[in-house]
Structure formats: structure tokens, C-alpha cells
Amino acid sequence: MAECPRCFWLNKHKVWSRPSSPFPQLPNGMDRVIKAHFDKFRDKGELPPEIKDHAHTKGLKLFDDKELLTLWRNNRKGIQWTDKDGNVLSGAVDNILVNGKKLVILDYKTKGAPLKDETEAGNGYQNQLDFYNFLLRKNKHETEDYAFLLFYYPKEVSEDGKVIFDTILARREIDCKNAEGIFDKAIKMLNSDCPKETCEWCEGR
């Protein structure tokens, strides 16, 4: 919706779908191996070294309901909520931390260059974190008012050819009202006439 309201409207009304761009396989592969890496530490009741001794994660542990986490990670199901009019919203998470009874979103990201600090690392992902928390709360789960982005970026190549990655953990305050506002705006748009302004993809459709 943010890129082109008309493409969004046409897609959701099953009139036409914007052609998808080739998805880089490296981030997809990184996502898979990082999840498996974290799962090994979850099964041992520990935090992985990337975040174990970080000031942000003091007193936190990994969410240990494997069945529920598997569902929430599923791109076809994820965390779902249906509003009073039958509109469905869903999102698939990477991982979740627990602080007492409250859940904390942990999302993995990859970047191609070193990062100066966590402020730089967190730019551009606010809506995603807000929506995850909005969905959890709509499903009667308590969440903290913050979430984490864990960035992996290449640091060097060792003499034996292995790529060494470094990490930075960024904490972000979340705003569920932002997510709710975007959702309401999207529903209102879909219930209105097709937007007239076009982009290079939907021009002429």
C-alpha cells in the first residue's frame, strides 16, 4: 500500500497483481539458518552468544512454546486476527523473547555493510514491529512496549574462506496505534473506488 495504493487495491480485489521482483536468496538462507541456530539455544534454555550478555536482554529468555512459534513463523498462517467485519490481518515473526509474562518481538535482518550503531540499524522497520505487536495483543497476549532488530552483516573473510559476520542488536519502541491506523486506512481504501494515481507497474490497468 505504501508503494502504490492502486497496485494494492487491484491486488486485493483480484483484478491484477504487480509482477514480483526476484527475491535475493542470501537473506532467505540467512533467515533459515539463524532460526535453526536460535532454536538450538532455546532447547538448551539459553540465549545465543549474539545477545546473551547484551544490556538489552538482561532477564529475558527465548519463547519456548515450539508449536505456537512454528505456527507464528508460518508465512501462510502466522499470527492472525479478524476484525468485526471479517477482514483478516496476519504476519509471520522470526522469533520472540519473554520478559516475565510479556512477549518481545525479535526480528532478524541482514545488511551488506558495517553499522555505526543501533540507531542506524533500526531505521525503516517501525511499521513491521508495530504490526507484530498489534497482532499479538489482539490475540490476548501481553507485549512489552519495545521490540528488537538483530542485524547480521559481513565483517571479513577468514584465510580458509569462511565469511565472518558481526551483529548489532537494536531496540525500538513500538506503537500499536500506528499499526491500527494503517490497517484502518487500508480497509477504508479497499472499500472505496480504485485509486486513480498510477505507478510504472499499474499504468493502463
Q: Does 55 reside within a domain?
A: yes
Q: Does the residue 11 lie in any domain?
A: no
Q: Is residue 154 part of a domain?
A: yes
Chain segment 127-154, per-residue pLDDT in tens: 999 999 999 999 999 999 999 999 999 9
Domain annotation covers residue 19: no
The pLDDT, as a whole number, for residue 124 is 81
Mean pLDDT (the chain, rounded): 92
In a domain, 202, yes or no: no
Asked if the structure places residue 9 within a domain, the reply is no
The mean pLDDT of 196-200, rounded to a whole number, is 89
Task: Please give the pLDDT value at position 150.
Answer: 96
Instruction: Determine, yes or no, domain membership for 136.
Output: yes
Domain that holds residue 52: 28-190
* pLDDT surpasses 70 at 112: yes
* pLDDT tens per residue, range 12-54: 888 878 777 655 677 788 999 999 999 999 999 999 999 999 9
Q: What is the pLDDT of residue 82?
A: 97
How many domains is the chain built from? Answer: 1
Q: What is the 3-state secondary structure (H, E, C) of the chain?
A: CCCCHHHHHHHHCCCCCCCCCCCCHHHHHHHHHHHHHHHHHHHCCCCCHHHHCCHHHCCCEECCCHHHHHHHHCCCCCEEEECCCCCEEEECCCEEEEECCEEEEEEEEECCCCCCCHHHHCCCCHHHHHHHHHHHHHCCCCECCEEEEEEEEEEEECCCCCEEEEEEEEEEECCHHHHHHHHHHHHHHHCCCCCCCCCCCCCCC
For residue 87, is it within any domain? yes
